A and B are shown apart, each in its own frame.
Chain A
Amino acid sequence: MTIQLMMDGREVIAENGQTLLDVTQRYGIVIPTICFHPATTPNALCRICVVEVEGQRLLQPACIVRAAANMKVQTRSERVMRARRTILEMLAATVDLSEAPDILAMIDEYQADPQRFPEAHPRYVPIKDDNPMYVRDYSKCVLCWRCVQVCAEDAQYTYAINFSGRGYETQIGTFFDQPIPETTCVFCGQCVGVCPTGALKPKREALLEQGLMPEQIVRLNTGRRRRT
């Protein structure tokens, strides 16, 4: 069954059950996303995809709100643009975005001011390098939750990581902050595959960035097989 609604003054058609984000993609309307990933269940955490829906008091996240008949949606109203700009400014004030090119491009596009909150404390977490497969640099984490999701029902059913702490202290962590090898982790790296900001990175990539030559990296990583 299809339904009709208005989007940015255009009449658009949606399948029943589609989200507003699904609909925009079909019509070439661009809505920015950060926490959204096609392989994970959308949770509307980052709020960058918000749009204005007539009759609704609050801005609505397009990744989870379903299209309804006769809805009137503004995807780039002044209010929407200001909300997105503020979200980007708050992210820039607290997170190391140096390896998140998509978010940096949004900051340019929305003319967000990374210095708008000079009093903010950037979230600084020492790099966690506790296993031979990947390193975790949570100073770069935007808490998009994708890694937790793919570790759980969205892919792996392993449940090695989750949110820990609250509010500003929120982080991704293991139970009791155990090192990764002592958790249920199976090192599938699904989390690394969906990380949008370089907070999770293969160890070899990290070593290469630190200036090690491939030959040196290989010697670090050659296993412990005896009788070679």
Chain B
Amino acid sequence: MIQADRVTRTTCPYCGVGCTLELHVKQNFIYKVTSPFDSPVNHGNLCVKGRFGYDFIYHPNRITTPMARRYLLQNDYQGALWKTRYHAPELGNRSLTNGNDSPTPWDWVETDWETALNLAADRLTHIYQRDGSDAMAVYCCAKATNEDNYVLQKMFRALFRTNNVDHCTRLCHAGSVVALQQSLGTSAMSNTASQVMLNDVFIVTGSNTTENHPIIALQMKAAVRKRGAKMIVVDPRRIELVDFAELWLPLKPGTNVPLFSAMAHVIVKENLVNWDFVRTRTEGFEGYVESLEKFTPEYAEAICDVPAENIRQAARLYATAKNAAIYWGMGISQLSHGTASALSLVHLALLTGHIGRDGTGLNPLRGQNNVQGASDMGAMPFHYPGYMLVDREENAVQWERLWKVEPGGLSRKLGLTTTEILEHAHEGGVRALYIMGENPMMTEPNLNRTRQHIEQLEFLVVQDLFLNETGVYADVFLPAASFAEKDGTFTNTDRRVQRVRAAHPPRGQARPDWQIVCDLAKRIEARLGRPTSAGWDYAHPEQILREVAQVNLDYAGITYERIEKVGLQYPAPTLDYPGTPTLFTETFPRGRGRFIPLDYVPVMEQADDEFPFILTTGRVLEHWHGGTMTRHSVIDQVYPEARVEIHPADAEIHGIRDGDPVRVRSRRGEVVLRASVTEKTTVGVVFIPFHFVEAAANLLTNDALDPQAKIPEFKACAVQIFPARETDLPNPEAILRRGRY
């Protein structure tokens, strides 16, 4: 038996559930992960990623030495030239050398922190002084801590005077965030995830909860089996939760608005409206009801391909329940009308009053471990920390005071979003980009175009664990510490701020993100010759959180001491405030909840004769997003390859058998991978997970954007499928053999 050198209590780095972990460490190596059975979020349960997904920390390919391109060290600066001349065009080529014997200016050279940080500071300062604020942009990171994100957005706002600050929330729940802001004035889960046990009826839509939020799914299953709750699944795929559901509405991808509006139509026509709630807590009801007139269940049936009677049944179940809640994922938001799609859910809650009480609510399940926190910390182009709009004078003044910026110094202009930043990477647009821990070359839509954009950047700094698909385009690489090597806080999907603790020192020369950023910021500040410092001398991340809390009052009551054992749910405005499990009990942040009339807008790309299938993308249980973590872990052995799911009826027409190699092509790109012939998908719809560089689903996806939220349409694009040969597969020896799939 092994005795652990120490057991470190921390928070899981994978999804937004925020499970408590105990890392058992021997010889600075995590050999076992357990979870305390009294943990408030997960009650001792974990999923495969949380319990077994840690090899990436020790993977031999991890970069733990700062690196810079040779041209920088030789002071042979020629803008974007070297990148386009020497970079291998193949997606995912991550070799450290050029493959030739003779050195080129684009080779990586290992260096020391001093040199790497000075080079980065020189180039960033140079570009800022030459081209101004609009040339600077940053991707913060929903995997990094609150503290890391706060100092990074502070660096770009206070030093480079730009709001071109965003992170992957844009690709994830931007539609939900905008919808909730417009209708309620806030953007987080209204209730606590574990309150699913108090639901009598709940709707799960656009979320494959069992694979993407496994621990919340356990509670959903228990609510059904142990408490007799009724679950309504609205999803184009026959996900595992359907086995537990009272009702499954297999709608066509991207037809949420007609379906949920038809439910609203039924609620109004059958007089199931909670009139008290509508009168006292909402506005805009009359105009909205008029807009509902055309959304009859029959109209929805024609569009969504769901029987009208089932829509009626779902509406009655939801409206007449004592406590009903809605849980949703990317299937709602990742559409070119993602905002409207999320609003159609908000309306259901406002009509029935299923919000503002325990066991009800509007609950967008946040994807990343700290996407809620990164948003709270102002890693967004329109908001300072605490969702304070950047174009409001009274907000800017507060941050100018805190960061000792001269009055009027901070930018009042709305910044560019994640998707817009890369689109603006050209002469006269964004010239320098700083990426902390994100991998847009796997996670942006239409990767072929994304690559053209990223190649146009003059200077790219990447701060990460691995030289991933994005890192290969970087000019300077700064090796960061993993979650198990640093202190800080994550904020989970139900607004619970929890501690992250170092289990052992960083590998090699890697350093915590907040330290790297502060060190770099000091150098840039010195080069800019600013008369006052915005403040970068933190001894511990706790001091960073205290600084945030001076202005972001939701966090004012949260100290490391208070969350030492159990995390607190913000808003927690004072030091004795117990936290807020349920929002909106009295009122909404904007006062009354607002009904916003909707129209049905189809997805941008419909299936047609040439591209007869609709492709929808998503995740699998075993992998995480771009794969930087899980594909460098042992989990890759149990799920080693991408598969395209196709319905047996479609497969038969096209002569495709289970396991056959197929070529999937859209108007933007193509991939070759094996087919899984399965009834998990519906006729006319195929599914590819986006984790696998060998068959990157995002080569196919459509980069059409939601006009308000700027979120891309990952969830629906038209594709064609042909049989391919075994030799066309990028990695034929990796075969998925699992009883479960």
Q: Spell out A's residues near B (CB within 8 Å).
A: 37-39, 98-99, 101, 131-133, 150, 153, 155-157, 178, 181-190, 192-194, 198, 202-205, 208-209, 213-215, 217-219, 221-228
Say whether, besides A185-B740, A186-B48, A209-B1, A156 and B218 are in contact (CB < 8 Å).
Answer: yes
Q: B540 within 8 Å of A by Cβ?
A: no
Whole-angstrom distance between the alpha carbons of A153 and B225 in the complex? 8
| Min distance, Cβ A160 to any Cβ of chain B, angstroms | 8
Q: Is the CB of B92 within 8 A of A227?
A: yes
Say whether, besides A153-B225, A157-B225, A185-B740, A225 and B636 are in contact (CB < 8 Å).
Answer: yes
Complex interface: chain A residues within 8 A of B310 (CB): none
- Of the candidate stretches B56-64, B113-121, B183-191, B295-303, the one touching chain A is B56-64
Complex interface: chain A residues within 8 A of B221 (CB): 157
Ranked nearest first, the 7 interchain pairs of A and B with the lowest CB-CB distance are A223-B636, A214-B29, A189-B51, A187-B48, A221-B634, A182-B739, A218-B58
Q: B227 within 8 Å of A by Cβ?
A: no
Say whether, besides A39-B37, A228-B61, A184 and B740 are in contact (CB < 8 Å).
Answer: yes
Q: B414 within 8 Å of A by Cβ?
A: no
Whole-angstrom distance between the alpha carbons of A190 and B31 in the complex? 16
Among B33, B93, B636, B739, which residue has its beta carbon within 8 angstroms of that of A183?
B739
Whole-angstrom distance between the alpha carbons of A208 and B4 in the complex? 11
Closest to A190 in B: B45
Q: Is the CB of A223 within 8 A of B632?
A: yes
Encoded as 1 (CB less than 8 Å from any A CB) or 0, chain B from 420 to 459 comes to 0000000000000000000000000000000000000000
Say whether, besides A157-B218, A178-B739, A185-B740, A226 and B636 are in contact (CB < 8 Å).
Answer: no
Q: Is the CB of B94 within 8 A of A228?
A: yes
A-side interface mostly: loop
Whole-angstrom distance between the alpha carbons of A188 and B33 in the complex? 11
Complex interface: chain A residues within 8 A of B44 (CB): 39, 190, 193-194
Among B222, B622, B637, which residue has its beta carbon within 8 angstroms of that of A224?
B637
Q: Is the CB of A39 within 8 A of B43?
A: yes
| Min distance, Cβ B696 to any Cβ of chain A, angstroms | 12
Q: Is the CB of B634 within 8 A of A132?
A: yes
Q: B553 within 8 Å of A by Cβ?
A: no
| Min distance, Cβ A42 to any Cβ of chain B, angstroms | 14
Name, among A132, A203, A213, the residue most crowded by chain B CB atoms within 10 Å (CB to CB).
Answer: A132
Whole-angstrom distance between the alpha carbons of A223 and B637 in the complex? 5
Q: Would you give 26 A-B contacts (Cβ < 8 Å), ordered by A?
A: A132-B634, A150-B45, A153-B222, A156-B218, A181-B739, A183-B740, A184-B739, A186-B621, A187-B622, A188-B48, A188-B51, A189-B52, A193-B45, A193-B51, A194-B44, A204-B31, A204-B32, A205-B32, A208-B26, A208-B31, A215-B58, A221-B55, A223-B637, A224-B640, A225-B693, A227-B694
| Min distance, Cβ B88 to any Cβ of chain A, angstroms | 11
| Min distance, Cβ A159 to any Cβ of chain B, angstroms | 11
Complex interface: chain A residues within 8 A of B244 (CB): 157
Closest to B26 in A: A208
Among A38, A98, A221, which residue has its beta carbon within 8 angstroms of that of B37?
A38
Closest to B640 in A: A224
Q: How many residues of B contact A (CB 8 A)?
A: 58
Complex interface: chain B residues within 8 A of A203 (CB): 634
B residues 725-741 near A (Cβ < 8 Å) are: 730-731, 734, 737-740
Complex interface: chain A residues within 8 A of B738 (CB): 181-182
Among B34, B45, B634, B694, which residue has its beta carbon within 8 angstroms of that of A223?
B634
Closest to A134 in B: B52
Whole-angstrom distance between the alpha carbons of A20 and B1 in the complex? 34
| Min distance, Cβ B327 to any Cβ of chain A, angstroms | 17
Say whether, besides A132-B638, A157-B221, A225-B627, A193 and B34 are in contact (CB < 8 Å).
Answer: yes
Whole-angstrom distance between the alpha carbons of A183 and B741 in the complex? 10
Encoded as 1 (CB less than 8 Å from any A CB) or 0, chain B from 581 to 602 comes to 0000000000000000000000
Q: Is the CB of B637 within 8 A of A132?
A: yes
Complex interface: chain B residues within 8 A of A227 (CB): 92-94, 693-694
Complex interface: chain B residues within 8 A of A209 (CB): 1-2
Can you name 19 extra interface pairs (CB under 8 A) apart from A133-B52, A225-B693? A132-B638, A153-B226, A157-B218, A181-B739, A182-B739, A186-B740, A187-B51, A193-B34, A202-B31, A202-B32, A202-B33, A205-B31, A208-B31, A214-B27, A214-B28, A219-B60, A225-B627, A227-B92, A227-B94
| Min distance, Cβ A125 to any Cβ of chain B, angstroms | 19
